[in-house]
């Protein structure tokens, strides 16, 4: 099973979100999650990458896959097992990176404390694609 992460660039309370991620990831992994697709867009992405890395100590088979948001955005290499660059693969023509992640995944883990239009659109897209959405905090994106 593949899992994608979508969240805000800046976080106001990262400790609660980190705890939430640490609570939900083991259950997902035990139910078949193996590949975790992450971007390097901002705070939530780095929290998610760190949470996946923490789980690797107990679940060696899982993969942390970076999907960079653009060719020259810096990232912390030690957080990822490999890089899937849609620009190199020819998959990033006119589709957003978030939509690409959602298309590759069965589960979307989302954080939406600050209401951002592009994040809201991505979650609506995930709903249309019938993906399981685990959202912090929970509320309707419709």
Phi, psi of 123 (to 5 degrees): -70, -35
Q: Does the pLDDT at position 88 exceed 80? A: no
Nearest C-alpha neighbor of 39 from the set 1, 70, 61: 70
Q: Say what the pLDDT of residue 95 is.
A: 57
Query: What whole-number distance in Å separates Cα of residue 2 and Cα of residue 113?
Result: 24
Q: Taking residues 27-56, what's their average pLDDT? A: 94
Is this model's pTM higher than 0.75 or not?
yes
Compute the mean pLDDT over every residue in the chain, rounded to the nearest whole number: 86
Fill in the DSSP letter of residue 36: E
Alpha helix (H) residue ranges in the chain: 14-30, 43-55, 86-89, 97-104, 117-128
Q: Output the pLDDT for position 87.
A: 63
The overall longest dimension of the chain from CA atoms, in Å, is 38
Q: Give the position of tokens 């990232």.
A: 75
């Amino acid at each position: 099973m593949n899992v994608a992460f979508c969240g805000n660039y800046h976080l106001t309370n990262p400790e609660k979100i980190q705890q939430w991620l640490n609570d939900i990831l083991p259950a997902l992994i035990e139910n078949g999650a193996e590949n975790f697709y992450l971007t390097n867009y901002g705070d939530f992405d780095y929290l998610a990458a760190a949470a996946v890395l923490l789980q690797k100590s107990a679940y060696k088979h899982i993969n942390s896959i970076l999907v960079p948001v653009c060719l020259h955005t810096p990232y912390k290499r030690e957080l990822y097992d490999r890089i899937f660059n849609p620009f190199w693969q020819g998959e990033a023509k006119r589709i957003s990176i978030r939509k690409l992640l959602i298309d590759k995944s069965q589960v979307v883990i989302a954080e939406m404390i600050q209401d951002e239009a592009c994040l809201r659109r991505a979650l609506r897209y995930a709903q249309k694609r019938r993906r399981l959405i685990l959202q912090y905090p929970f509320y309707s994106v419709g």
